[in-house]
Amino acid sequence: MEKEVLSSAILSGSVSNDMSVWGLFLQADMVVKVVLILLIIASLWSWAIIFEKTLRLRKLWSRADSFEEVFWSGGSLDDLFDRTSKRPADPMSSIFNAAMREWRRSSSRAITDNAGLAQRIERVMYVTLGREMDNAEKHMTFLASVGSTAPFIGLFGTVWGIMDSFQAIAMTKDTSLAVVAPGIAEALFATALGLVAAIPAVLAYNKFSNEFGRYSARLEAFSSEFGAIISRQLEENT
C-alpha cells in the first residue's frame, strides 16, 4: 500500500525533484544512466589522451632539436651512434641508429653493392619512421571515435529520456511542467554531456593530427638528408 501511494505521489509530481546534475543522474532511467556513465568515461579518457599527447609532442620536438644540433655539429657519426644506440631517446635518433646499424652490418660483411646497400638503408629508415609514428600516434583513433560518436550516444539518451517523459504523461494524464520537466531535463543532460565529450576530442584530434603530420615531415626530411650523406660516403669509398 505504501509503495502504491509513493509511486502515485511521484507520478503526480507531489514529490520534489532534485534538478541538480547529481539529482538528474540519480533520477534518470537505467538506460540513460548507462549512457551518461559511458560519456563520462569517454570524456575523462579523452582528456587523459589530450594531456599525454600535448606533453609527448613537446618532448618530441625538443629532443629532435637537440639531436639535430648534435648531428649537424660536424662530429663523428660513429661516435654519435655509439652514444645513442643503446637507448634512442626519440624517433629521429631511432631512425639514425637503424641506418647506422644496417651500414655497419653491411660493412662488416664487405658488401660491395653500394646501390643495394643505399636502398636497404633507406628502406630501414622508412620502416623505422613508420613504426615510431605509429607508436607516437597511439590512441588518436579513440579521440576520433569519441568526436564522431559521442553526440549520437548522447542523442540516444535524450530520445530515451523523452520517451520516459511521454510515458509519465500517459500514466498520470497530466501535462503539467512538474511531470514533464524531470524527464526532459534528464534527456537534455545526456545531449549536453555528449557534446562535452565530443567537442574537445574533435578539436584535439585535428590539432594533434596537424602536429604529428608536421613532425612526420621533419623525420622524412631528416631521413632523406641522411640517406644522401650515406650515398655520398659510399661513392667516396668506391
Q: 5 in a domain, yes or no?
A: no
Calpha distance 187→164 (Å, rounded): 9
Q: 23 in a domain, yes or no?
A: no
Query: For the chain, how many structural domains are there in total?
Result: 1
pLDDT per residue over 125-140, tens digit each? Answer: 999 999 999 999 999 9
pLDDT per residue over 192-213, tens digit each? Answer: 889 999 999 999 999 999 999 9
Q: 9 in a domain, yes or no?
A: no
pLDDT per residue over 17-40, tens digit each? Answer: 555 656 666 666 787 788 888 999
Q: What is the DSSP letter of 137?
A: T
Q: 180 in a domain, yes or no?
A: yes
Range scoring the smallest mean pLDDT among 8-17, 111-120, 147-156, 181-190: 8-17
Calpha distance 200→50 (Å, rounded): 9
51 pLDDT above the threshold of 60 = yes
The reported pTM is 0.78
Range scoring the smallest mean pLDDT among 20-29, 34-43, 79-88, 223-232: 20-29
Q: What is the mean pLDDT of residues 103-129?
A: 78
Instruction: Give 72-80 contacts, CB < 8 A, sequence gap 24+.
Output: none
Q: 16 in a domain, yes or no?
A: no
Q: What pLDDT is stored for residue 36 in this prediction?
A: 86
Q: 231 in a domain, yes or no?
A: yes
**Residue 32 contacts residue 59 (beta carbons within 8 Å):** no
Q: What pLDDT is stored for residue 199 in this prediction?
A: 94
Q: What pLDDT is stored for residue 110 in this prediction?
A: 57
111 pLDDT above the threshold of 60 = no
Residue 221: how many CB atoms within 10 A of its CB? 10
Q: What pLDDT is stored for residue 30 in this prediction?
A: 80
Q: 226 in a domain, yes or no?
A: yes
Q: 139 in a domain, yes or no?
A: yes
Average pLDDT of the chain is: 81
Calpha distance 65→209 (Å, rounded): 20
Question: Which domain, by its residues, includes 32?
Answer: 28-67+75-237
